[in-house]
Amino acid sequence: MVREPDEWPDPVRYEGGGGNRVGLYDLDALREVRDRLHPRRVRAWSAEEDALVLDRRLSAPQIAERLDRSVDSVQGRREKLGLVMRPRPERDEWLIARTCTECGQLRWREEYRVLGRDRQRVSTCVACMDAALTERTAAAQERTAGTARRHAQRWTGAEVEIARRDDLTVEQAAAMLGRTYHAVVKVRYRASRDPAWLAAFRT
């Protein structure tokens, strides 16, 4: 639409502040002209759209893309309908480095493991976690070595089934079978990776 010059408001003079400023326009008058020349087209919300807006499984950007609306309008509609979204747990995608709580060293982001459903990085670096695991494993191996009466002997099918039980820890299974901690770990690993080897004990 061609804007006629006489439709625009006349410049007004503002007194005070930084002195007289001539040639400035009144913003309210400009908005009034804008709304008259370009009336806003407000699209009413349908019941189907409201149902989609109230779906907690979808984010505001996802709903906005499906409904061809802005993200702000979707968020405003959610607030109007009384839907309060719980803030998501803070993530650390932009983390560059952090101090390990175990060794106190500044480690790069890649030196921390990501665990749990929220994919949060743990506060202990990989080196410290591996060192702690090695220490726990060595202690368990030492405890079971003294009672390993069947150490280095051939495994039976019954022993393999006990070693694979989910309700037993590795150390508990080793104590029941008279085996070492490392021996039970190896059997569990091979049974999960080699179906043919496991089937040989069931025949």
Contact 83, 75 (CB under 8 A): no
Each residue of 115-172: pLDDT tens digit? 655 555 677 888 888 999 999 999 999 999 999 999 889 999 999 999 999 999 999 9
Q: Which two tokens stand for residue 143?
A: 């405890």
Distance CA 80, CA 76 (A): 6
State the chain's mean pLDDT as an integer: 78
**C-alpha span between 35 and 44 (Å, rounded):** 19
Q: What is the reported pLDDT for 6?
A: 53
In CATH, 89-145 is 3.30.410: no
Task: Indicate the pTM of the whole model.
Answer: 0.48
Query: What are the sequence ranges of the domains in the chain?
Result: 5-37, 47-80, 89-145, 147-203
Cα separation, 56 vs 74, in Å, equals 12
Q: Which band of pLDDT confidence, cut at 50, 70 and 90, is reported for residue 7?
A: low
Condensed to tens digits (0 to 9), the pLDDT of residues 70-123 reads 888 888 888 888 876 655 544 544 457 778 888 888 887 778 777 655 555 677
Using CA atoms, how far apart are residues 62 and 25, in angstroms rounded to an integer?
Answer: 40
- For the stretch 14-52, what's the b/e string if a residue is b when 16 or more beta carbons lie within 10 angstroms of its beta carbon? eeeeeeeeeeeeeeeeeeeeeeeeeeeeeeeeeeebeeb
Residue 35 is inside which H or E element, if any? helix 27-37
Q: Which residue has the higher pLDDT, 40 or 88?
A: 40
Higher pLDDT, residue 5 or 125? 125
pLDDT tens digit string along 59-83? 888 888 888 888 888 888 888 888 7
Concatenate the DSSP letters of all residues of 175-190 into one string.
HHHT--HHHHHHHHHH
Rounded CA-CA distance 108/103 in Å is 14
